[in-house]
Structure 1
Amino acid sequence: MGALVGKVALVTGASRGVGKGIALGLGEQGATVYVTGRTETGGATPTPLPGTVQETAAEVSALGGRGVAIGCDHRDDEQTRAAVRRVVEEAGRLDVLVNNVWGGYEYFWDGTPFWTEAGFWTQPIERWDSAFQAGVRAHYLTSVAAVPTMVSQGSGLIVTVSSEGAEKVDTGVAYGAAKAASDHMIACMANELRDHGVTAVSLYPGLVRTESVLRAAEYIDLTHSESPLFVGRAVAALAADPAVERHTGQVVRTSALAEEYGFTE
């Protein structure tokens, strides 16, 4: 029996990539996993990449969990609130929230030659707005909607997917600033949630073999890369740890968690 049977999780931005991998990692351990995303089967495709929330949910169920798809554009506050409300109304609880949805990557698929945005002054301001609205703001609002249920339970885990880009100066101004803001937001949340039994962490994956990364594989050294499922197993290990609160407010890395908990690809 999986370590997360009876637990309920919400993973945002899980049509593909890291979000999908996290949903599958939780599903492997028997969790009920609600997955959100803009790409729905039979609907409009916001990107040329494969994957839908329905497909992710089906794969979660195939692995032994229970996957539930929710079409949601997290740039829309009411859609975000409605998604969390649905989880709580249907499941009666919420044990794990994974803030994964993000913005600012549009140049990967909107036809913009990447070399034309080599400096922040060459980028449209929409890149900044997207990283903060579809990323930081969406993470904040989803947490605001989810936390009352966790506080009433006296338990819960919030994992916000971040990046070492928060600590570097060569990853782009909008991206680096947004990831740093996300990390500090989680640290502040953890401080306020500490007495309520709710843990909040920022998760740094390594280089992940997402669909968009694999499209550019000939230009990237993937020697030490991670699969999306490896990231999912990191989140599942945290969710199953009865002493996870020792990590609250911290940045945790998938590589270090693999050593601590013993999971592999």
Structure 2
Amino acid sequence: LFLRPLAFDYRSKIDSLKWRTNWDKALFVGSMVPPLVFGVAFGNLLQGVPFSFDSLMRVTYTGSFFALFTPFTLLTGVVSVCMMLLHGSTWLVMRTDADVAQRSANIGRVISVVLALAFALAGVMVWQSIDGYLVISTIDTMGQAQPTIKEVTTASGAWLDNYKETPLLWLVPAVGVVAPVFVAFLLSIKSKSTPVKVFAFIGSSFTIISIILTAGIAMFPFVLPSSSQPNHSLLMWDTVSSEGTLGLMLTVVAVFIPIIIGYTLWCYKKMWRTVTVAEIEQNNHTAY
């Protein structure tokens, strides 16, 4: 991430094509690596991470760095990157015009299809080749957190159990597949009115929300499954803070979140406009 602010600041310092191209590459790397890492990390959560606790509750990781990269985790990394690319392309379609908007629409159409296919393929792998985790012992949700005192088993396709118990939840992954296809359709419209651009961006937003929720629903109540010692897997009740801490956090959130939402909306309202080619040409050393 440290490359992003540097690239934004230094790109316009020297009027040189090579200089700007190099900073564009740095901006690309700084923007692509974080979502790729997050996607690979989330894929490892679904696969399980090899860790365990000793008698003093010290954590031991028994895996290796390269073991984190498997076909499934790389696929979830691709899904994560495609989510960001799609959202960025729909944002540019909505905020720019001329060639930039058209190039963004072209990229967005391709990314939409790739994202839908990658997400569907990841779902098939979760169903067929990834072992899910199940708690088979009674959970004391009101007691003291004891991560090692429970019984957990693994089974192929077990991550889909929450969906089988509540069939209505299947709508969430369905949106994750249908929404990007809908966005691709909107971006293929040649004469894009403002509502079309806005709906494409909203469709991209729903795509991201549904994909993240799909994984969250599948894993519930697991937060960090252990592939080496399943009984040591962390559930949401194992990772929760104390009642006093949660109460303090609720107070802080109740006060500051409305303030953050308010000034964020105000900033977007003040800066909201279509960035034109003429504006960039007139301010080529300050706009970017």
TM-score calculated relative to the size of structure 2? 0.29
Largest Rg, 1 or 2 = 2
Structure with the largest fraction of helix: 2
Structure with the largest fraction of strand: 1
TM-score calculated relative to the size of structure 1? 0.31
